[in-house]
């Protein structure tokens, strides 16, 4: 049984953009008094990046990986008028409504594969999770990992689940291997892939996947260009993820072979 809820907060202040992100995320303050890194629905990939972020992040949390809290951030645009950057003005205007935020880990540093420490089991779980969700964006060039309080934290799953940018053929996509795992930044440290596989089978059951997918707001699943109801789209995400997890033996062997 998965009964986690995602809190909803209201954005009260735009603090600063994070220009290293292609989608121009930002640090914002919300009405609970905390700072968050916000991913805007009005950015390039739209709500699909938010969907991937939420699903990947909550699956990581279920695997006991360190993952900052995710919140829904409601934005009413009273901020763009005082913003001098036209790109940010437009982003705020087009992002009214429900966005996604992640707790801001003040003082965290970007994971450096040459000097940072990664536990072999945690590394193995991240590698296999990324194989399941087809995350192409955890490489040496862009690790999307942080070290904070002497621990490894996973962030930024927005490039995952790229099948949903073109719904046609998603069943075939769910059955595919993930050869890009050979470029994963943690692959060399993933020395416990078989143990990680067992944990995934235990912790990412169909009931758990159903609960995680059910967190997705209807508002994010109502894209006019796709002829499907929000519930029908949730069913696709559930079947896609469950199929990937059913194929975890194949994905594990692929990762082991890639390690050489």
Q: pLDDT tens across 200-252, in order?
A: 999 999 999 999 999 999 999 987 667 889 999 999 999 999 999 999 999 99
Per-residue pLDDT at 188: 97
Six token digits for residue 135: 């995350």
This prediction has a pTM of 0.96
Per-residue pLDDT at 226: 74
Q: What is the chain's mean pLDDT, rounded?
A: 94
Q: pLDDT tens across 66-104, in order?
A: 999 999 999 998 777 767 678 889 899 999 999 999 999
Per-residue pLDDT at 51: 98
Q: What is the CA radius of gyration of the chain?
A: 18
Six token digits for residue 127: 């590698």
**Residues contacting 74, CB < 8 A, separation 6+:** 8, 9, 10, 11, 97, 98, 99
Per-residue pLDDT at 105: 98
At 20, the pLDDT band (50, 70, 90 cuts) reads: low
**Residues contacting 121, CB < 8 A, separation 6+:** 192, 195, 196
Number of H helices, E strands in the chain: 8, 8
Q: How many Å is the maximal CA-CA distance in the chain?
A: 55
**How distant, in Å, are the alpha carbons of 71, 129, 165, 188, 259 from that of 182?**
32, 14, 23, 10, 7
Closest CA to 231 of 204, 245, 213: 213
Per-residue pLDDT at 145: 98
Per-residue pLDDT at 59: 99
Per-residue pLDDT at 21: 58
Per-residue pLDDT at 166: 81
């Amino acid at each position: 049984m998965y009964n986690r809820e995602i809190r909803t907060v209201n954005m009260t202040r735009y603090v600063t953009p994070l220009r290293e992100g292609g989608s121009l995320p930002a640090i914002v303050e919300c009405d609970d008094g905390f700072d968050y890194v916000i991913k805007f629905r009005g950015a390039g990939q739209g709500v699909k990046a938010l969907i991937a972020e939420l699903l990947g992040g909550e699956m990581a949390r279920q695997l006991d990986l360190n993952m900052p809290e995710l919140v829904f951030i409601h934005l009413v645009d009273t901020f763009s008028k005082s913003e001098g950057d036209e790109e940010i003005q437009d982003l705020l205007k087009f992002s009214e409504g429900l966005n996604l935020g992640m707790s801001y880990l003040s003082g965290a540093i970007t994971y450096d594969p040459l000097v940072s420490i990664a536990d072999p089991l945690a590394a193995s779980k991240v590698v296999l999770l990324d194989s399941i969700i087809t995350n192409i964006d955890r490489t040496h060039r862009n690790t999307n990992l942080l070290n904070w309080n002497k621990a490894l934290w996973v962030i930024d799953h927005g490039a995952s689940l790229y099948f949903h940018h073109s719904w046609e053929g998603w069943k075939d996509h769910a059955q595919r291997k993930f050869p890009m795992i050979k470029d994963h930044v943690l692959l060399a440290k993933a020395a416990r892939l078989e143990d990680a596989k067992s944990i995934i089978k235990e912790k990412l059951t169909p009931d758990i996947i159903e609960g995680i997918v059910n967190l997705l707001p209807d508002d994010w699943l109502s894209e006019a260009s796709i002829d499907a109801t929000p519930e029908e789209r949730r069913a696709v995400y559930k079947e896609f993820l469950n199929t990937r997890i059913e194929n975890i033996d194949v994905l594990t062997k692929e990762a082991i072979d890639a390690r050489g």
